[in-house]
Amino acid sequence: MLDLKPILFAARQAATLTRRVQQLHLSSSAKGVNDPVTIADYGSQALILRAISQAYPNDAVLAEEQAAQFASLVSDDQRATVVQLVSDVIGEPISEAQLIAWLDWGHGRDADRTWLIDPIDGTKGFIAGRRYSIAIAPLEGGMPIAGVLASPGYPTQDGLGLLFYAQTSAAYVEQMRGGKASRIAVSTRTNPTQFQVVESVERAHAHLERMKQVYQALGVPEKHVEGVDSQDKYAMLACGDADLYLRLPRELIPSHKVWDHAAGAALIRAAGGVVTDIDGSHLDFSDGDTLKNLGMIVSNGQAHDRIVEIVQAVLTAYPIE
């Protein structure tokens, strides 16, 4: 079994850095159309890959950001800011060369285990001051065997958020500041009219209109549907704060990145829930950076087969064009 302690420590460090950047409202850049990236993405990824390089030096990595982007998209002043932020978090001075080396550590390597990293999942939510996640998941045999979700924006009394993690058949949550871990599990609600539903905030991420038809068929009240950024939606289901998350595609050939779902899928399964494609088949993480799936149905498992049937009926009556 993997020792997740150094990864959890790095996730907390990344949460400290990203919260600092969010508070300072530091600027962002764009990798492409509708694809923002912030200096916090680079700092967070560097901290996580630093930890993986030390704890699991023979493993491979598939991460969202790249050192070449850092060099081309980020100004000299901003690069210096990232270096200073990472230095402050780890408590020792580092160089820009060290940070760049961490950003690309493990990329392109052939190994039995590959770590999927999304240093800030929900970047638009992060920029807007909403919720976001720091997602980490190791893959073996094309499947996530563990998952870590640092959720700095998860509502808590101290305002620091929560740290979720899972391995094999057990899922846990801790306060971001540390403390005793608590075992978590999905809800036992069986009546869809009582379900709390979470969905993407961004319309480009999912077909919200078709999803509304599914909710209506299930009898879910509109007031029970909440838009939430990032893989916090998976975390909410894993600890029983929500019961259903749908992601129906807006196009016939969608592109779902593996790092956007691997940690959440591992957390849900360990907490006793169910994660499938929209036809009920398993999610397939075995083909590079993109899932071989149309969408996601994530539930507490109590009415999953019925939800799949309703989704298929809605998409048959109103096909994706």
- Residues 6+ positions from 194 with CB-CB distance below 8 Å: 224, 243
Last residue of a domain, one of 184, 200, 222: 184
- Which of 152, 184, 216 corresponds to the end of one domain? 184
Q: Does residue 273 sit in the same domain as residue 152?
A: no
Q: How many CA atoms lie within 13 A of 187 on its CB side?
A: 20
Q: How far apart are CA 37 and CA 259, in angstroms?
A: 15
The residue from 16, 18, 114, 123 that is catalytic is: 123
Cβ proximity of 295 and 284 under 8 Å: no
Residues 198 and 244 in one domain: yes
| 62 and 166 inside one domain | yes
Q: How many domains does the chain have?
A: 2
Choice among 16, 18, 38, 41 that is catalytic: 41
Are residues 200 and 178 part of one domain?
no
User: Given this model, what pLDDT does residue 31 score?
Assistant: 59
**Domain residue limits at 150:** 5-184
Q: Quick count: other Cβ atoms within 10 Å of Cβ 127? A: 20
Is 114 catalytic? The answer is no
Look up the pTM and report it. 0.95
CATH of the domain at 240: 3.40.190.80
pLDDT, tens digit only, all 321 positions of the chain:
899 999 999 999 999 999 999 888 665 555 544 456 889 999 999 999 999 999 999 999 999 999 999 988 899 999 999 999 999 999 999 999 999 999 999 999 999 999 999 999 999 999 988 999 999 999 999 999 999 999 999 999 999 999 999 988 899 999 999 999 999 999 999 999 999 999 999 888 899 999 999 999 999 999 999 999 999 999 999 999 999 999 999 888 888 999 999 999 999 999 999 999 999 999 999 989 999 999 999 999 999 999 999 999 999 998 887
* Same-domain check for residues 208 and 176: no
Shared domain for 271 and 167, answered yes or no, is no
User: Residue 154: which CATH number?
Assistant: 3.30.540.10
Does 231 lie in the same domain as 165? Answer: no
Residues 265 and 156 in one domain: no
d(CA 49, CA 39): 16
What type of residue is 240?
G
Whether 114 and 230 map to the same domain: the answer is: no
Tell me if residue 290 is catalytic.
no
What is the pLDDT at residue 29? 58
Q: Contact at 8 Å (CB) between 84 and 93?
A: no
DSSP state of 11: H
Specify the pLDDT at position 33. 43
Same domain, 251 and 234: yes
